[in-house]
Amino acid sequence: MGWAIGWDSNWNRDIGYGVPAFCDHPDCSEVIDRGLSYVCGGGPYGESLSDTDIVGCGLFFCGMHLGASSLCERCSALGNGELNEPFPAKPDHPEWIHHKMTDPSWEQWRKENKEKAE
């Protein structure tokens, strides 16, 4: 199984290193991808890859907004006993939307998801 393109039912959006995206930090417009290198938590859907029980929010952040612990600023505060709501997820990048709406490889998806495709 590859991680180029997948679906995250927690956030209802496409994920994977093949999906261009904006950093989910509200004050950032850095273009990244939704691959494991940028996910808060370090693992799929925000799961922790370390021995800690701190799980990330599963959003995607550039290097400036994803700390060395692979957690965003809100999730890293959880280690201090604080409970924070995650940042709002950003919409799909225009390049990704264009790809899904025009590329022949997504034709079947467009037929099966006419409301979303419109």
Tens of pLDDT along 50-101?
Answer: 666 667 889 999 999 998 888 898 888 776 555 568 899 999 999 999 999 9
Q: What is the pLDDT of residue 15?
A: 95
C-alpha to C-alpha distance for 65 and 22, rounded to whole angstroms: 12
Domain ranges of the chain: 6-90
- HSE (CB half, 13 Å, CA atoms) of 117? 14
Distance, first Cα to last Cα, the chain: 30
Is the per-residue pLDDT at 46 higher than 90? no
Bridge partners of 14, per DSSP, are 7
Q: What is the pLDDT of residue 105?
A: 94
Instruction: Tell me which DSSP letter residue 26 carries.
Output: T
What are the DSSP E strand ranges found in 23-102?
31-34
The vertex-57 CA angle with 52 and 58, nearest 5°, equals 100
CB neighbour list of residue 55: distance below 8 Å, 6 or more residues apart: 41, 46, 47, 48, 75
Contact 24, 39 (CB under 8 A): no
